Amino acid sequence: MSKWKDEGAKWGPHTHCLVCGNAIPEGERTCSEECAKKLESETSGAKRQQKMTYLVIFGMVAFLAVVMILEQFLGH
């Protein structure tokens, strides 16, 4: 029997905290309220950064579209 199967039988079904890696019961995401707050903070920060990235890309596309349209009307 492999080492990994022995460990599974020893500890039973479990997962690990997404923040600190401590063993926790299956179905849980974090081990404590402190880790839950850290996870929420990281998640909201990532969502904010993604929105800003989309906004910058949209702005660049809009700017290029305006430049191309102006080139059509004002082009030589």
**Residues facing residue 15 across a β-bridge:** 24
pLDDT above 80 for 75: no
19 and 30 Cβ atoms separated by less than 8 Å: yes
pLDDT tens digits, one per residue of 22-48: 999 998 999 999 999 999 999 999 999
Please determine, for residue 66, whether its predicted confidence score (pLDDT) is greater than 80: yes
Q: Is the pTM here over 0.85, yes or no?
A: no
- Cα 26 to the chain's mean position, in Å? 21
Q: What is the pLDDT of residue 1?
A: 43
